[in-house]
Amino acid sequence: MERDIRIQKFLSECGFTSRRKAEEMILEGRVQRNGRPVQLGDKLDPGRDVLTVDGERVRYDRRKKHTTLLLNKPRGVLTTLEDDRGRRTVAELVADLPARVYPVGRLDKNSEGLLILTDDGALANRIMHPRSHLGKTYRVTVRPGITEEQVIALSTGIELDGRMTLPATVRVLTQEPGRAVIEMVLREGRNRQIRRMCEALGLEIARLRRTAIGPIRLGMLRPGEWREMTPAELSALRGALAKAGGGEEA
């Protein structure tokens, strides 16, 4: 590991938490280097400095074998490890696991489907890196149906927050009176993106389920179930990230 490394990156690569959550912890004053609170952007030398979170020392172990899981997140469960309002989180679904894994990216509370959890910070950062453009596949049920013009609009881009969404792959799977099921492949991950894109076109989402992240598919996992990612899947995922251009954040 490099000598002068940003503290949020260090916490992520140690598998302690995600980089985003590490930044929150730093802002909350929970992270100390050599007994003093740190600021965002501060660095440390892992070989010399002592880093603690809530008084617990964080160490980097080169020999550690990482754990990466696939979870079928049910509706109504939050994609976070803790919630101050006592709502159900994905952490409860993997509570018996000895490894400390955290979710890579998010699914809305009312969305469901494939979620990756890992303690491999480098892999998580590559998946979430803005340059990765790793395709994520969703099966979306919309009401009252969908027109060809709406399919074209979803495919070419919708303006959200003053900028257009990237082109998406959209195809209609079924169409019947009052509802349609479509498949969407996105290559970016804005907040509530599919819901907001559909709302902009007057479409109501009845169900939203993620079925794949790059080459990794949900398969036969039932809601609430998880399994470890296989070596072949990890290899395929890393290959897809390399092809898509995913890199490391500084």
Give yes or no: 84 in active site: no
Both structure tokens of 170: 């959209």
Virtual torsion, Cα 164, 208, 185, 124, nearest 10 deg = 90
Could you count the other beta carbons within 10 Å of the beta carbon of residue 61?
A: 8
Short-list 191, 142, 189, 185, CA closest to 167 = 185
User: How far apart, in Å, are the Cα atoms of 69 and each of 37, 119, 224?
Assistant: 33, 9, 12
Both structure tokens of 49: 């400095």
Catalytic residue, candidates 42, 54, 84, 108: 108
Residues identified as active-site: 108
